Chains A and B, each alone.
Chain A
């Protein structure tokens, strides 16, 4: 499995995932720069994502929506706060209304993604922080992509195919 470490800080409500990919840093970065590739990995298979705006430049807002099996749409946005290509970017991830404007009633998480060269390719560290236990609960109630179960099934399928 590419996931090599998972750290959960209950006190800080932070989840840190470390993963090693067998591809150069520039290749991994290209995935995050390209909305067509990014949407293939962001949403689970049952809730595919479509990025409407995405530039990966500081100060820009990316918008996306995910489409459920019944055609229902769940929108979100990223406010890109920092970019150090090809090694790091930071953003606030929140929920949006159907017209893709931010839904300020719902919590926002702070994210820090870093990519480092290793002997075998790239080490990625994905860090997400939630402001409070309530925020974390709300995000999960919204079904942070309804898909943890679908995502887990996807891993099983992936492992079975490997």
Chain B
């Protein structure tokens, strides 16, 4: 990955609030993992890990596919970037608003 891509990924990891989910995402972004293999990496139940995977999936950061009896999870790098970049756009709008509020408030002093 290039430097800016890594920065964006860093920002994403910062934004994800849960340590375990951050860790899962890191693993699945690096390559496809079975949910069973992921569950073996953590000191928690299979169901708990599965829940974390489901949260990442609902957020569109991870996709799952079935292979026989296995569920295989991989990170959706594009989705990760697009949500982050959309929030970046909104940030631009908000910075504009805040600057205008500040301007209006200081103008009268």
Contact = CB atoms under 8 A, between A and B. Distances in A.
A149 B93 CA distance: 8
Given A3-B98, A147-B93, A154-B96, A21 B16 contact: no
Interface residues of B, number: 37
Given A10-B83, A11-B15, A151 B90 contact: no
A17 B97 CA distance: 11
A11 B59 contact: yes
Interface stretch (B27-35, B36-44, B66-74, B99-107): B99-107
A52 interface: no
B7 interface: no
B2 interface: no
Contact of B92 (A10, A42, A128, A151): A151
Interface of B: 11-12, 15-17, 21, 55, 59-61, 79-80, 82-84, 86-106, 109
Interface of A: 1-3, 6-13, 15, 17, 19, 21-23, 27-28, 31, 37, 40-42, 44, 124, 126, 128, 133, 136-137, 140, 144-145, 147-152, 154-155, 158
B90 A152 contact: no
A57 to B, nearest CB: 21
